[in-house]
A = this chain, B = another copy of it.
Amino acid sequence: MLAVTCPRDRLLPSEDLGASWRAVRPRPPGIHLDSAASSRQSHRALEAAAHHARHESELGGYVAEATADDLLQQGRSVLGGLVGMAAADVAFVESAQAALVALLSGWRLPAGSRVACLPGEYAPNVAQLRAAGLRPEPLPVDDLGRADVDAVARLLADAPPRFVHLTHIGSHRGLLQPARETAALCREAGVPLVLDAAQSLGHVDVDLGADVVYGTSRKWLAGPRGVGILFARPAIAAQLVPVLPEPEGVPPLRAFESGEAHVAGRIGLVVAVGEHLAAGPDQVRERLAALGRATRELLDGVAGWQVVEPVEEPTATTTLRAPDGVDVLETRTRLLTEHGIVLSAIGPERAPGEMTSPVLRVSPHLDATIEDLEALAAAL
């Protein structure tokens, strides 16, 4: 599926898409390669949120929200479409983490219920599972931390957990997990699949048959901070017990949507999702994967830095292990202050079940160029 790309050509698929993505957002003072942390909003998304906030000030917060009702519902519908669900299956919350907490607080599973998740699971997720009284147990993985589909099938047959929690792409490693295969196995086994799509929504295909999906606005969808999304199919939503139920006729999941919220940010996200769709999700994925590949080809071995991911991994996120004697956090600071290059240092506490040393994370969005990656290679 991927176009064969050679960085020496200095060309990536859909260079026009890169250029148009770049043209509609504020000009960065440096080089932004940090979309796995927080992406760059477009002028239109920024303006939509600012305009709604002004509208709130003119009309009152709740009158303004009522005038935006149709737009918000359209947003739920379009977001739902990204994961193969309907508007009724979508709840706006504050962050991916808030979505997980909302799910777990509503599900009220018996204490000690077993949940299978990756050994490299995001530490705050593990902490939330434990805080909900659940018992996280490792999914079988290969040496890189990718779920082993055959072994997962055996686990589901031999000792099915209460649910599988799969983080689709890690925040500490640009590895794409076999979510479609896992979803199919889970469906067969009657075990719900909860997919953490914080790093995958807007990045790769997320319409894979999971029962619950949750994600965030600010990363690959390039929406505002302070907005997250919880998606749950009706069969799961029916199992959730809200603190305060919704009136008759309202979709049950809506009880998990936060009522008092950054509504302006939700408006901004709806605009950002529109831009994602206008860009063409397939083209977006193709270019992001090509950027990831180019990053790995360009950076592996540079000044002794080692790329963790397979070069062909179809994601835009690359992590690098430091050469002996080089401090990752100091390198991140040096790149920012001396070269204006924005990226992240990820410590092992992020995924203590898998990481043994910190990594430098490079995560370009569509507007990045080969020149940006070359500048990083030179600065390393």
A261 and B94 within 8 A (CB)? yes
User: Known contacts A243-B127, A262-B224, A265-B226: does B60 contact A54 (CB below 8 Å)?
Assistant: no
Say whether A26 contacts B62, CB under 8 Å.
no
Query: Please, how many angstroms separate the alpha-carbon atoms of A29 and B57 in the complex?
Result: 10
A249 contacts across to B, CB distance below 8 A: none
Cβ–Cβ contact B58 & A26, under 8 A: yes
In the bound complex, CA of A225 to CA of B64 (Å) = 12
The distance in angstroms between the C-alpha atoms of A173 and B56, with both chains bound, is 23
> Are A53's CB and B41's CB within 8 A?
yes
Per the bound structure, the CA–CA distance linking A98 and B243 in Å amounts to 13
Decide if A32 is an interface residue (CB 8 Å cutoff): yes
Query: Once the chains are docked, how many angstroms separate the CA of A57 from the CA of B262?
Result: 18
Mask of A83-107 contacts with B, CB within 8 angstroms, 1/0: 0000000000011111000000100
Docked Cα-Cα span, A62 to B346, in Å, equals 13
CB within 8 Å for A46 and B50 given contacts A56-B225, A94-B261, A243-B127: yes
A72 to B368 Cα, complex, angstroms: 31
Return A276 CB to nearest CB of chain B, in Å.
Answer: 16
- Whole-angstrom distance between the alpha carbons of A263 and B54 in the complex? 17
Kindly list 14 other residue pairs between chains A and B, CB separation below 8 angstroms, not including A61-B218, A96-B260, A97-B259. Answer: A29-B58, A38-B62, A94-B226, A94-B261, A95-B260, A97-B260, A124-B244, A127-B244, A225-B263, A225-B264, A226-B262, A226-B265, A227-B262, A262-B265
